[in-house]
Amino acid sequence: MKVLFVCLGNICRSPAAQGVFEKYVDEADLKGDFLVDSAGTAAYHVGEMADGRMIQHANERGYDLTSVARRFASSDLDDFDLILTMDNSNYENVLKLAKTDIQKDRVKKMTDFCRVHEIEEVPDPYHEGDEGFRLVLDILEDSCSELLKSIQSQEPKDAETK
């Protein structure tokens, strides 16, 4: 399963989502079953590591953020099974690039998987203080946990239809 997390600049929310999800996948002993990546809809930070504040807050919770920022490409719609966007703007920007129903079906909102947090978007913490980064991680822990459960619950059905 190939999973891509997308935000605006690919230095805060999407690398954090990647790090959280990778840890959950590893803890479930499923590392070999997933390829996980992140990207941004804008090219502001291409080639940069995640924001130092996000790295710090993620490290405090045991997540390792090692991704390098890249821009989302239309080819990602074919290369990934699931594309998770952090906010409505990212969602719309990615959907605009989708040319087929299959590509469109791969695009989901990260908050669709939240069970604890009742929100529409993962807020951008870039201009916020420590609380903003902690909130983003809280939301991502909630949604990534449920995302993994959702994927695992679908796998037997997929296997039966093959």
Walk along the chain (162 residues) and give the pLDDT tens digit of each residue.
999 999 999 999 999 999 999 999 999 999 999 999 999 999 999 999 999 999 999 999 999 999 999 999 999 999 999 999 999 999 999 999 999 999 999 999 999 999 999 999 999 999 989 999 999 999 999 999 999 999 999 865 444 433
Place of tokens 């906010």: 87
Task: Determine the pLDDT at residue 109.
Answer: 98
The model's pTM: 0.94
Task: Determine the pLDDT at residue 158.
Answer: 42
Residues 35, 21: Cα–Cα separation, whole Å:
11
What domains are there in the chain, each with its CATH number?
A: 2-161 (3.40.50.2300)
13, 37, 51, 106: which one is catalytic? 13
Residues 19, 65: Cα–Cα separation, whole Å:
5
Task: Determine the pLDDT at residue 155.
Answer: 66
Strand arrangement of the beta sheet that strand 82-85 belongs to: 35-40, 2-7, 82-85, 107-109
Task: Determine the pLDDT at residue 87.
Answer: 98
Task: Determine the pLDDT at residue 160.
Answer: 42
Task: Determine the pLDDT at residue 162.
Answer: 33
37, 76, 124, 142: which one is catalytic? 124
Q: Are 77 and 106 in contact (CB under 8 A)?
A: yes
Written as six digits, the tokens of 124 are 């951008």
Q: Is 7 a catalytic residue?
A: yes
Q: Is 124 a catalytic residue?
A: yes
